Structure 1
Amino acid sequence: MTEHGQVIEITDPPFIQRLFGSPSWAWLWLIVRVYVGYTWLTSGLGKIGNPAWVQTGAALKGFWERAVAVPEPPARPAIAFDWYRAFIQALLDGGHYTWFAKLIVAGELLVGAALILGAFVGIAAFFGAFMNWNFMMAGTASINPVLFTLSIFLILAWKTAGWWGLDRWLLPLLGTPWRPGRVFSGGGSTTAPGAGTP
């Protein structure tokens, strides 16, 4: 922000800076990410041996059919937004559940594994939150609101959420689009991008 020609920097409270940016809080994010990752991984593993998910897509078709159904008033439909219902209906009409079901299974397995291993935690948490958002938009609550909220926290803590995991080495090695790591800059600091000291 600028005021009278001077740049005014608005900063986060010190506690928030430490919570989301200091490796000393990495133990908390380890607990959160392993819980979220384990939930995704077990969900994916439960589907991988089910032909209704990995072959025909019938399980997803049934879920979508229930989601787009519009009951008689005063009952309310599972999907609150017409545009999202139209989107799911288009996927149903096109028979896209056959490949989309496989995509969901793969997504759950990959997100779960990445979070447990602490690899690209911010990216994995984003895709996990995106899946939770879609499930909630389709009218399924279950534990999706909890997982969505925890994933948002993991995204905010992306610099240190994987400190006790592979990101401790991946982030300094690869860097970010705005700050290349050792692989792309020919050497330099071994500190994860943006990470402070414990």
Structure 2
Amino acid sequence: MFIQLLRENKGVAIFLAVIRVYLGYQWMTAGWGKITGGFDAGGFIQGAIGKATGDHPAVQGWWATFLEAVALPGADLFTYLVMWGELLVGIALILGVFTNFAALMGIIMNFAFLFSGTVSTNGQMILLTLFILVAGYNAGRFGLDRYVIPFMRKKIYKEKEFTPTPLHAN
């Protein structure tokens, strides 16, 4: 019942739009700050690897191994992916275009930051993003998804008589 409310109710869509824009702003400003501020993921990755030691490590061993074997040697690539990923996720969420994909990429980054021992606002952002992901199309109803998704469905199915399933009029 709650999931149906998230996915179909227009009033909830307005609330989701507010959450979506808030999250988008957080991502966009974080990404822009990294782009203009000379961010280097190498230092962050080394710091996370350092948190994997001691009696109560903040970073689990399996994640530290991934960081050491994959992320640290590719720190330049990860720098680029984080900076531009944050900015683009933010813009997509604010505009409400490809909302679910943007939210999915955002939550993956939030989990990566949490796994790396950074708490900050990541937990809050994960919780809010879960509502957007569960809501599906309704989270982008008051955004560009309202126009982009039906257009893409028409192009993908290439059927002359194809009409997207209408949303309930709640």
TM-score relative to the length of structure 2: 0.90
User: Cα–Cα, structure 1 residues 24 and 185, in superposed 2: closer, same or farther, change >3 Å?
Assistant: farther
* Counterpart residue number, 2:48: 67
Letter in 2 for 1:136: L
Distance 1:163 1:71, change over 3 A: closer
| Aligned residue in 2 for 1:3 | none
Query: CA–CA distance in 2 between the matches of 1:85 and 1:71?
Result: 6
- Aligned twin of 1:188: 162
Deviation digits for residues 5-53 of structure 1 (CA, Å, limit 9, x no counterpart): xxxxxxxx2x4312222333210111100000000000011111123x2
The structure 2 residue matched to 1:28, chosen from 15, 18, 22, is 15
Q: CA deviation at 1:73?
A: 4.2
More helix, by proportion: 2
Residues in 2 aligned to 1:45 and 1:102: alpha-carbon distance in whole angstroms: 12
Q: Which amino acid aligns with 1:61?
A: G
Q: Which amino acid aligns with 2:61?
A: D
Q: Please give the alpha-carbon distance, in whole angstroms, between the structure 2 residues aligned to 1:92 and 1:126.
A: 20
Q: Deviation at 1:92?
A: 5.2
The answer to whether the aligner puts 1:16 opposite 2:3 as a matched pair is yes
d(CA) in 2 for partners of 1:159, 1:93? 37
Segments of 4+ moved more than 3 angstroms: 70-74
Matched residues, number: 168
The separation in 1 between residues aligned to 2:80 and 2:54, in whole angstroms, is 35
Please tell me whether Structure 1 or Structure 2 has the larger radius of gyration of its CA atoms. 1
Asked whether 1:134 is paired with 2:112, we answer yes
Matched AA of 1:148: I
Contact 1:68 1:77 in 2 (8 A): no
Superposed, 1:1-198 pairs within 5 Å as 13=1, 15-51=2-38, 53=39, 57=40, 60-69=41-50, 73-74=54-55, 76-79=56-59, 81-91=60-70, 93-94=72-73, 96-174=74-152, 181-183=153-155, 184-189=158-163, 195-198=167-170
TM-score (norm 1): 0.78
- 1:154 CA displacement: 0.4
Q: Which has the higher contact order (CA 8 A, sep 6+)?
A: 2
